[in-house]
Amino acid sequence: MIALLPGRLFDGAALRDGLAVLVEDGLIRDLCPIAALPDGVIRHDLAADSLLAPGFVDLQVNGGGGVLFNDEPNPAGLARIAQAHRRLGTTAILPTLISSDAATRGHAIEAVREALAAGMAGIAGLHLEGPFLAPARRGIHPAEAIATPDAADMAALCAAFPAPMLITLAPEIVQASYVARLAQAGRIVFAGHSDATLDQAMAGFDAGITGTTHLFNAMSQLGSRAPGLVGAALLRGHAGIIVDLLHVAAETIRIAHRVMGPRRLFLVSDAMSTVGSTIDRFDLGGRSIRLSQGRLQDAAGTLAGAHLCMAQALRHAVQDVGIGLEDALAMATATPADAVGLSRHGRIAPGCRADFVVLDAGLAVRDVWQGGVRCAAR
């Protein structure tokens, strides 16, 4: 058994002082006062100014480490993406497939299935973002990939899967009976890339939608007489939000946080292949995407995901948006875990995975532990 002794810890709900975390066989066994550590425990004394938090949980990871999941929907690609984000403090990801054809979706599902069976560190499930989206709100998603689901699609999506599978769709494009069928099959359904009216969005939520993908971006906006999907999202379910200060203004993020609170609103990176790598361009659906001044865009100026990791999003939330540290930490850990039912992630509590990020006083990543093993130094 080992014990991690931080200056302070965040347990998924609150900041706490004077506690050690006991770890054995990759799991958290207990929290105890530092003065009452059991005999024989191997101590790991962290810096006095350190903050120990659950490893970040990111539900929207398109790529990292020079790899785009769409281009390499296989276990090797997944391993490189997970490794890149692990170094940046994220210990659980849903690799995210941008709208593609049925064959690529099949490869992605099988790749994640294989990774899960092999116990690949960091892979916690799968996010299929599209292709059942509104053409008018597709953003950077390839136009030729946008579709409406048929019987074969539904059969593939509803087949047994051993972990959370998040599906982003437009509720005005996918009929409510299909949404209900996905939910009954255990899929987590979010609304996104949608031009839905409030009534259409609410019908989707009534059918089984439980959240919204990248709030405010690529969706019908909040108006005085037409609340749109943004209005529905503020009223119902969870929502991810990209806090890079490019996708959403700080003031808008602050409003969403005040309305939804830290138990419904959570951080996502929407990371692309540039994150955790030195590359500054890649191709997506035949279009060249370039990184310039922190912004990923095509030649027309359309945003193409984000050059962002969860640690950066956390710092922006606290230092630029003004969200309190406890709330922001919850939005990067416990809340996304809760949104997709990852009950052993996102918290420092007995029985949870021993996945941790160690932050310094400026919220920069100092160290990472995964499954009870220090891995940042590898």
Please report, for the domain that includes residue 301, its CATH number: 3.20.20.140
Please tell me whether residues 33 and 162 are part of one structural domain.
no
Q: Is residue 324 part of a domain?
A: yes
| CATH number for the domain that contains residue 46 | 2.30.40.10
Please tell me whether residues 183 and 325 are part of one structural domain.
yes
Please tell me whether residues 142 and 236 are part of one structural domain.
yes
Write down the pLDDT at residue 378: 36
Please tell me whether residues 77 and 187 are part of one structural domain.
yes
Q: Is 270 assigned a catalytic role?
A: yes
Residues in CB range of 309: below 8 A, 6 or more apart: 85, 88, 89, 90, 269, 271, 275, 276
Burial of 177 (0-12, 13-18, 19+ CB in 10 A): exposed
Q: Is residue 148 part of a domain?
A: yes
Residue-number span of the structural domain to which 28 is assigned: 2-53+351-374
pLDDT digits (tens, 9 = 90+) for 8-48: 999 999 999 999 999 999 999 999 999 899 999 999 999 99
Q: Is residue 115 part of a domain?
A: yes
Please tell me whether residues 83 and 22 are part of one structural domain.
no
Q: Is residue 47 part of a domain?
A: yes
Write down the pLDDT at residue 286: 87
Closest CA to 54 of 1, 113, 14, 98: 14
Q: Is residue 186 part of a domain?
A: yes
Give yes or no for a contact between 91 and 122, defined as CB atoms under 8 angstroms apart. Answer: yes
Please tell me whether residues 49 and 166 are part of one structural domain.
no
Please tell me whether residues 198 and 240 are part of one structural domain.
yes
Which CA distances in Å does 13 have to 131, 318, 322, 328, 341?
A: 35, 16, 18, 10, 16
Which strands, in side-by-side order, build the sheet including 19-24? Answer: 27-33, 19-24, 2-5, 42-45
Write down the pLDDT at residue 376: 59
Please tell me whether residues 89 and 232 are part of one structural domain.
yes
Rg (CA), the chain: 20
- pLDDT exceeding 70 applies to what percent of the chain? 99
Write down the pLDDT at residue 338: 98
Write down the pLDDT at residue 203: 98
C-alpha 189/C-alpha 176 separation (Å) is 11
- Mean pLDDT, rounded, for 270-283: 97
Q: Is residue 345 part of a domain?
A: no
How many domains does the chain contain in total? Answer: 2
SS3 327: helix
Please tell me whether residues 185 and 301 are part of one structural domain.
yes
- Mean pLDDT, rounded, for 239-263: 98
Please tell me whether residues 94 and 8 are part of one structural domain.
no
Please tell me whether residues 36 and 73 are part of one structural domain.
no
Q: Is residue 364 part of a domain?
A: yes
Write down the pLDDT at residue 61: 98
pTM: 0.97
Query: Which one is catalytic: 270, 338, 355, 367?
Result: 270
Q: Is residue 346 part of a domain?
A: no
Please tell me whether residues 62 and 46 are part of one structural domain.
no
Residues in CB range of 378: below 8 A, 6 or more apart: none
